[in-house]
Amino acid sequence: MSVSTVLSSRVRLARNYSDLPFDLSERPDLAEDCLSRTAGALATSGADKGFLLHRMADLSEGRRAFLAESRLISGDLARAVQTGAVLLNERDGLSVMIGEEDHLRIQAIRPRMELAEAAGDCFRLEDALSKQVSFAFDPELGYLTACPTNTGTGLRASILVHLPMVSQQGKSGEVSEMAARLGLTIRGVFGKGRLALGDVYMVSNHVTLGRTEEELISAVLAVGRHLTDLEATLRETSRREERLTLENRVYRAWALLRSARTLSSNEFYNLWSSARLGLSLGWIEAEADTLDALLWDTLPQHLVAWRETALDEKKLNEARAECVLNALGKLF
């Protein structure tokens, strides 16, 4: 299996200035101080190449929602309209969110299983900043954060994995239990509640204190590998024992994706998952990057940004189908 089941990797570091209260949402003066320190430190260090400063107040609601959908900023930051800001390097997937729950959320998103590299991106940014400013740190408790769930390393490492077979065979529960014992969480990415639309799952650490950053990242990678192996085994069995069923699923989805003129998000995720499975099995000709990009490009705010107009449910579904046709080519 040459196409990775790991879609992307993300690391974020929570950091705070020792002399400011955590919540700056009611204190525009302090929020401004926090912003100018951060932007100043990044500029002085010379690490600001490719970064642009955006104040939430200067961005349209649509643009804020678009950035949140892309995960380049958090939903909380998008809502911090008055005091939030972000130093963003969109091309390299790097963001320094300012005035979130913590003063700074340094984040890097990378493709595939480049989790260690994403961590490296964050550490480089942190090092650049901390040559100029000092962050709240306690020798016993580590980096101090607004919520004790992030105390210590302030690090959250996550990977997105596509697990159609694990999902279909109801194995995600037992994997979740194993992950929990390692201080990790597995949950669906798209859809509300316990749904994992598109069979896309996020594996992330919830423990942040008492382990080194390396250990936390290794744990996420280890569970990621375990899931990938389990998925591969299940696919192999299915390919051997239920080939017709599997082919039917993959080729139907592949044909529908390239023919549909309207696609609800639920239908899209189902078809996408089957097509992505076919791609991993080497049954369909497509670029993994193209298919994976559709996961984000078909999200509502992305479609609105693409069409440059507000869209109701019906128009969204039509735009989604057209977006897919453009990316994959029209069959009919």
Taking every pair of C-alpha atoms in the chain, what is the biggest distance, in angstroms?
65
Site string for another protein, 128-147 (x = CB under 8 A): --xx--xxxxxxxxxxx-xx
- Taking alpha carbons only, the member of 18, 22, 19, 15 closest to residue 208 is 15
Site string for another protein, 22-51 (x = CB under 8 A): xx----------------------------
Pick 151 or 158: Cβ nearer another protein: 151
Pick 183 or 300: Cβ nearer another protein: 183
Pick 11 or 163: Cβ nearer another protein: 11
Pick 122 or 161: Cβ nearer another protein: 122
Q: Cα separation of 125 and 93, whole Å?
A: 13
Selected binder of another protein within 213, 292, 297, 322 (CB under 8 A): 213
**In the complex, least distance from residue 17 CB atom to another protein, rounded to whole angstroms:** 8
CA angle 206, 207, 211 (to 5 degrees): 145
331 CB-near residues (< 8 Å, 6+ apart): 255, 258, 259
**In the complex, least distance from residue 55 CB atom to another protein, rounded to whole angstroms:** 23
Kind and range of the H or E run holding 157: strand 155-162
- Taking alpha carbons only, the member of 267, 295, 270, 286 closest to residue 331 is 286
Pick 15 or 276: Cβ nearer another protein: 15
Q: Does 101 bind another protein (CB under 8 A)?
A: yes
Distance from the Cα of residue 136 to its chain's centroid: 27
Selected binder of another protein within 149, 233, 237, 290 (CB under 8 A): 149
DSSP string for residues in 170-201? T-HHHHHHHHHHTTEEEEESSSSTT--GGGEE
* Interface residue list for another protein (CB under 8 A): 16, 18, 20-23, 101, 123, 126-127, 130-131, 134-144, 146-149, 151-153, 155, 183, 207-215
